[in-house]
Structure 1
Amino acid sequence: MKVKKVMVIGAGQMGSGIAQVHAMAGIEVILHDVNEEAAERGFKMILKNLSRQVEKGRITEVDKAIIINRIERSTDLEYARDVDMVIEAAVENIEVKSSLFAELDTIARAEAILATNTSALSITEVAAATSRPEQVIGMHFMNPVPVMKLVEIIRGLATTDDVYETVVALAHRLCKTPVEVNDFPGFVSNRILMPMINEAIFTVYEGVATPEAVDEVMKRGMNHPMGPLTLADFIGLDTCLYIMETLHAGFGDDKYRPCPLLRKYVKAGWLGKKTGRGFYQY
């Protein structure tokens, strides 16, 4: 099956980016969120990103208009009836995702693929909420989606070869590099990245160094483009905590125990860039 139209659920930073790259690849997109304000914010993020591309000479104003015309906003899940594939980019919570996939299962066409952009949760568990587990798959984009080339493709226990091959072909159409990984907590990217971030937070918690010093060591000494604590602020400390909790619960290994300082910041509402304060102030 060739994907001609997708519905992206969740118009936040990830969802809007996913919608943008599909529209840029010539695919019709429905950008969905729970209310009009959220959908409009996501749409404006896409407009801002495309305007920047015009300023840099990468696309023309005509290109921008064509891309924008491929994106429709929605607050009604019933639009899922008309698409070849749904890509969910909602909050990272298994109850929310399972409930959403159960509802989508009753709306989407029988042959439609249901994908989740989860960064750590079990694809098999999400698929179990549907009557079509063979058509559920993980498609984990990296942030920021329009820039980052990697997409982790994660099969659930029942995902068919046809669905996997369709999603890999779609990733190539989006000019992304698909990498197949197995359905384990955190997959590959976050199983490796999040413990590093958590250890950087422990380093601050134990008084070894300041956030600035930790980030400087990793940038200058390890050639990372961004320090782990700056990256944590960019991702969102609440998201980092949730992924660490998922890893800890999934593996039962204390090496994944979230740092108490991470919990403290989240309880304080210091979630990073999106709230104006995390390990740094914005």
Structure 2
Amino acid sequence: NDDGSIRGVQLSGGKVVETRHVIANCSPHLVYGKMLEKKAVTEQMVRAANSRTFAGRGFTLFLGLNKSAQELGITSHNYFIYDTADTVKQYDLMKKVSTNHVQATVCLNNAWPECSPVGTCMMYFTTMFMSDDWGNVSETEYFKKKDEVAEDMIRVFERETGCRIRDAIEEISVASPTTYARYCGHPEGVIYGYETAGWDSLMPRMMMMKEDALLNPGIRFAGGYAMRSSGYSSAYISGDLSGRQTVGDLKKGAQGE
């Protein structure tokens, strides 16, 4: 509307869903920068978004293997592999593509054996970059760099676990921060929302929920960018909180308050 309030959501196909209330499971940077009409974006919205710091930019390797987890010696569901136990040093190493060798790796079959055919298994490897260093990769070097990081993930996993998986790889797919930015709209490929450090940690966000909602009446956020920050349980809780608050907004609107 002319007063900047929400009046609907236009889908990519052109269809308009009329509503005065929206819960956005994405970045305020994306909502304010690309999804709202310019006249609805206030200086306060821009300042609130730009004052925050992006958390980890995602890189994921997906593997389909033609041997079972048991045959490969993969006994756990989750593997967390780090360069060092010094968390400050580790954080700094994760700022550069060339120095980051961290991985959180899952073999889904060890939680759900039937997720792939008998005699096979599936794995996915994830790391994060704590700066936009991936943005320094040139277009001509992009695919080579993706392959280098994927190769390093496999090498580190084999080195640390003793499991030889390379020869069993039948399917492989790699998602870089650029992939997450392109297909999901995440700024810089961020998969962990805004960094929860200093003034922008969980407790300040919870305390500022009312003030944040007043910045953009009709819009509430859920997911890693919202009041509970990142992680499965936090994302679920943020959706529940934003849903309940939106129901409250609807009731106030119906009462003319």
TM-score for both structures, normalised by structure 2: 0.27
Greater helix proportion: 1
Relative contact order higher in (CA < 8 Å, ≥ 6 apart) = 2
Which structure carries more strand by proportion? 2
TM-score, normalised on structure 1?
0.26
